[in-house]
Chains A and B, each alone.
Chain A
Amino acid sequence: MANSSTQSIQDNERSAMARIRSLFSSGDSSRDGSSSPLVVLIRKEMTDHVRSWRFIVLLGIIMLTCLASLYTALNSIQEAIRADESENSFIFLKLFTVSDGTLPSFIGFVGFLGPLLGIGLGFDAINSERNKGTLSRIMAQPVHRDDLLNAKFIASLTVIGLMFLTLGFLVTGLGILMIGIPPTFEEFLRVLCFLAVTVFYVGFWLNLSIVCSVRFRQPATSALSCIAVWLFFSFFYDMLLSLLARSLAPNAAATADQMLRYQEGMLWLSRLSPYSLFNEATTTLLMPSVRTLGPITVEQAHGAIASPLPLGQSLLLVWPHLTGLAAATLLCFAASYMMFMRQEIRGRS
């Protein structure tokens, strides 16, 4: 009796050990070969990304710019603190937002280069599989057709998420070392929220590039069209808007109502661009002193206490932006899904 119970304990131990071991040995996690094809594909995509030169180059660029922006922030942070008279000045968050004018700040860089990362990881997702002739081989395995697309999306987004989390923490860590002030808990949460928004934003560009990779057979065409969209929203959209604003501007005799309507209309137009959505969202999250994103009248501002918003209120303020970004991402994903499910799985042609 006692013998058998020790036996079973030993068995339990052994199986527990095996389970733990299988957790750590990445290749062997499918102990009984039952990890689903989706997981297998995701793992393959992630290793592909991490091993690829493209990812290393993109990572290098973004890491360098992050360090550069950290450097400029450190240079100008003293002045920024001195200029800020408010009690609760969230010094740590300034690391991400201030710059001395020679280089953009951290959020500026991320907003500008994040899309490039998304595009870089997604522009040849489907068409390169097709051109290499691996698409029909994978599709001939017992795999659902959407598994491939889902795996591409999930793997790329995971890689992006991990990368931004790492970068964010790297900057935070270096910042603590340099300025010697640890972030408060709220500041830490704000940084986390900011990173989450960044992943969403890059996810949008990733999906846009996946759409292009399904639509265009040539990876070069797909990459160029994504970059065109990116350039359009980063540079030309604002120019177009300012042209439009000048022509639509109400004359000096306009009533307050007209002015307000005009301002709100322009704001609505500018928010069609994911770039400005991201900018507004991250600025609000990292600068608690931002209390509103639209025009307010003197009456509305009357009696307001000029204090920073708590995190919950900041989140509430950018909630529509997050919804907008998520919706744009989902739209792109749905489009690529529809197109891919209807496409013929043929050789390389």
Chain B
Amino acid sequence: MKEPVIEIQNLSKSYGESRAVNQLNLTITRGEIFGLLGPNGAGKSTTILMLLGLSEPDSGTVKVLDIHSTRQPIQVKRRVGYLPDDVGFYEDRTGWENLMLTARLNRVPEREAKIRAEQLLQEVGLIDAAHKKAGAYSRGMRQRLGLADVLIKGPEIIILDEPTLGIDPKGMNELLELIQRLSREQGLTVLLSSHHLHQVQQICDRVGLFVNGRLLAEGDVPSLSHKLFGDDLIPVTAELDACNAELLEQLRAIDGVAQVATTMQEDSQGVTLQADCTEDRSAAIASAIVHAGAQLFRLERKQYGLDEIYQRYFAGGEDHGQLQYAEHTG
């Protein structure tokens, strides 16, 4: 069993009427990269602030590295690095000076701090800009400096709130690779919040889906889609030139195919056929069609990835309960 480093139990927090975090339970183990995925205003940042003891929960407990965050925030903050969304630096100080300030606040000995700052700046590719004022840094450079800033205290866990917000795709990929590499090299636990699915999918070991202050599901992406869409039928769509009743019967007879429906295409040059399967039966469907002598133009099995997860849960974020209900009945 891996050692849990972040344990959240029954955590709740509300601002006035609205519940930002609602009965949250989450455990993150050492060395993993966990993605907290959710639309804006889902309560991700609030959860992170409570992890660091910067915000007080209404109820529930947060333990980071076996330390109670609400009661002993200083101990937690000594061992956890946090990169806020839209991080700011003292703009009339250089990147180097900003890093050294953080190191001093963490009581890193001066000589060691200098070595570390140099190493980290090298690592994030800012060594040439180290003595430029932070105000002149671009957005991507600031995020990379932020990453160095988080790492200079030598943390065991790093928490990154929307680290890729507002960076161009190339910079985003570089940053994500950097995070992944550093985490693997130094055995860091990373908690990353985002509303970009693809980047999360790219580097995270596990993902937690966060909507309206609640964790809907957690796990790696395949198991997540299995969990979320396990009961649903897999639709297989085929385009062919013509379809007769005999072929339909054959298709219906395939074990695992629940129902088959056809629609004429608008230009009446072919037929679109949709078979809903309980398991993946696309190969059997294809061979049945070909054996029946029909011409198969296209065959597609729908695959549930994060996109569908996003569609289902985030697009209708406000009333996803209703949405889910509609889908199950319809």
* A→B interface (CB under 8 Å): 27-28, 30-35, 37, 40-41, 44, 48, 51-52, 132-144, 344-348
* Among candidates B87, B88, B110, residue contacting A33 with C-beta atoms closer than 8 Å: B110
Chain B residues whose C-beta falls within 8 Å of the C-beta of A132 in the assembled complex: 88-91
In B47-99, the 8 Å CB interface with A consists of 49, 52, 54-55, 74-75, 77-78, 81-82, 84-92
Asked if B88 and A137 make an inter-chain contact with CB atoms under 8 angstroms apart, the answer reads: yes
Asked if B84 and A141 make an inter-chain contact with CB atoms under 8 angstroms apart, the answer reads: no
Asked if A347 and B110 make an inter-chain contact with CB atoms under 8 angstroms apart, the answer reads: no
Chain B residues whose C-beta falls within 8 Å of the C-beta of A28 in the assembled complex: 110
- Inter-chain CA distance A31–B111, complex, in Å, is 8
Asked if A140 and B77 make an inter-chain contact with CB atoms under 8 angstroms apart, the answer reads: yes
* Among candidates B49, B77, B109, residue contacting A141 with C-beta atoms closer than 8 Å: B77
Residue of A nearest to B150 (CB): A140
6 smallest CB-CB distances across A and B, nearest first, come from: A133-B88, A33-B109, A140-B82, A136-B84, A132-B88, A142-B78
Asked if A33 and B113 make an inter-chain contact with CB atoms under 8 angstroms apart, the answer reads: yes
What's the nearest-Cβ distance from chain B to residue A133, in Å? 3
A-B contacts, 6 of them at CB < 8 A, read A30-B110, A37-B105, A140-B81, A142-B75, A346-B45, A347-B85
Chain A residues whose C-beta falls within 8 Å of the C-beta of B81 in the assembled complex: 140
Asked if B105 and A133 make an inter-chain contact with CB atoms under 8 angstroms apart, the answer reads: no
| Residue B278 at the chain A interface, CB threshold 8 Å | no
Total A-B contacts with CB atoms under 8 angstroms apart:
91
Chain A residues whose C-beta falls within 8 Å of the C-beta of B149 in the assembled complex: 137
| Residue B259 at the chain A interface, CB threshold 8 Å | no
With A33-B107, A139-B54, A140-B52 known to touch, is A347 a contact of B86 (CB < 8 Å)? yes
* Among candidates B106, B110, B112, residue contacting A142 with C-beta atoms closer than 8 Å: B106
Asked if B101 and A44 make an inter-chain contact with CB atoms under 8 angstroms apart, the answer reads: yes
Residue of A nearest to B88 (CB): A133
Chain B residues whose C-beta falls within 8 Å of the C-beta of A134 in the assembled complex: 88-90
Residue of A nearest to B85 (CB): A347
Asked if A345 and B104 make an inter-chain contact with CB atoms under 8 angstroms apart, the answer reads: no
Asked if A137 and B87 make an inter-chain contact with CB atoms under 8 angstroms apart, the answer reads: yes
Chain B residues whose C-beta falls within 8 Å of the C-beta of A142 in the assembled complex: 74-75, 77-78, 105-107
What's the nearest-Cβ distance from chain B to residue A345, in Å? 5
| Residue B23 at the chain A interface, CB threshold 8 Å | no
With A33-B110, A40-B104, A345-B55 known to touch, is A137 a contact of B84 (CB < 8 Å)? yes
Chain B residues whose C-beta falls within 8 Å of the C-beta of A348 in the assembled complex: 86, 88
Given contacts A134-B88, A345-B54, A345-B55, 4 further A-B contacts (CB under 8 A): A33-B110, A51-B92, A137-B84, A141-B153
Asked if B106 and A141 make an inter-chain contact with CB atoms under 8 angstroms apart, the answer reads: yes
Asked if A30 and B109 make an inter-chain contact with CB atoms under 8 angstroms apart, the answer reads: yes
Residue of B nearest to A141 (CB): B105
Chain B residues whose C-beta falls within 8 Å of the C-beta of A52 in the assembled complex: 92
Asked if A138 and B105 make an inter-chain contact with CB atoms under 8 angstroms apart, the answer reads: yes
Residue of B nearest to A348 (CB): B86
Residue of A nearest to B135 (CB): A132
- Inter-chain CA distance A325–B250, complex, in Å, is 95
* Among candidates A34, A133, A138, A144, residue contacting B86 with C-beta atoms closer than 8 Å: A133
Chain B residues whose C-beta falls within 8 Å of the C-beta of A33 in the assembled complex: 104, 107-110, 112-113
What's the nearest-Cβ distance from chain B to residue A73, in Å? 39
Asked if A140 and B110 make an inter-chain contact with CB atoms under 8 angstroms apart, the answer reads: no
Chain A residues whose C-beta falls within 8 Å of the C-beta of B153 in the assembled complex: 141
Chain A residues whose C-beta falls within 8 Å of the C-beta of B90 in the assembled complex: 48, 132, 134
* Among candidates A35, A133, A135, A344, residue contacting B104 with C-beta atoms closer than 8 Å: A35
- Inter-chain CA distance A331–B239, complex, in Å, is 79
Chain A CB count within 10 A is highest, among B45, B84, B108, for B84
- Inter-chain CA distance A130–B316, complex, in Å, is 33
Query: 0/1 per residue, B25-63, Cβ < 8 Å to A?
Result: 000000000000000000001000100101100000000
Asked if A32 and B74 make an inter-chain contact with CB atoms under 8 angstroms apart, the answer reads: no
Query: 0/1 per residue, B138-157, Cβ < 8 Å to A?
Result: 00000000100100010000
Chain B residues whose C-beta falls within 8 Å of the C-beta of A138 in the assembled complex: 105
Residue of B nearest to A147 (CB): B105
What's the nearest-Cβ distance from chain B to residue A208, in Å? 25
Chain A residues whose C-beta falls within 8 Å of the C-beta of B101 in the assembled complex: 40, 44
| Residue B102 at the chain A interface, CB threshold 8 Å | yes
- Inter-chain CA distance A304–B104, complex, in Å, is 62
Residue of B nearest to A43 (CB): B104
- Inter-chain CA distance A348–B105, complex, in Å, is 22
- Inter-chain CA distance A13–B106, complex, in Å, is 30
- Inter-chain CA distance A192–B121, complex, in Å, is 49
Chain B CB count within 10 A is highest, among A41, A132, A135, for A132
What's the nearest-Cβ distance from chain A to residue B213, in Å? 16
With A33-B113, A51-B92, A141-B153 known to touch, is A133 a contact of B84 (CB < 8 Å)? yes
- Inter-chain CA distance A265–B322, complex, in Å, is 70
Asked if B74 and A144 make an inter-chain contact with CB atoms under 8 angstroms apart, the answer reads: yes
- Inter-chain CA distance A32–B89, complex, in Å, is 26
Chain B residues whose C-beta falls within 8 Å of the C-beta of A345 in the assembled complex: 49, 54-55
Chain A residues whose C-beta falls within 8 Å of the C-beta of B110 in the assembled complex: 27-28, 30-31, 33
Chain A residues whose C-beta falls within 8 Å of the C-beta of B78 in the assembled complex: 142
Residue of A nearest to B76 (CB): A142
What's the nearest-Cβ distance from chain A to residue B128, in Å? 23
Chain A residues whose C-beta falls within 8 Å of the C-beta of B45 in the assembled complex: 346-347
Asked if A34 and B107 make an inter-chain contact with CB atoms under 8 angstroms apart, the answer reads: yes
Chain B residues whose C-beta falls within 8 Å of the C-beta of A135 in the assembled complex: 88
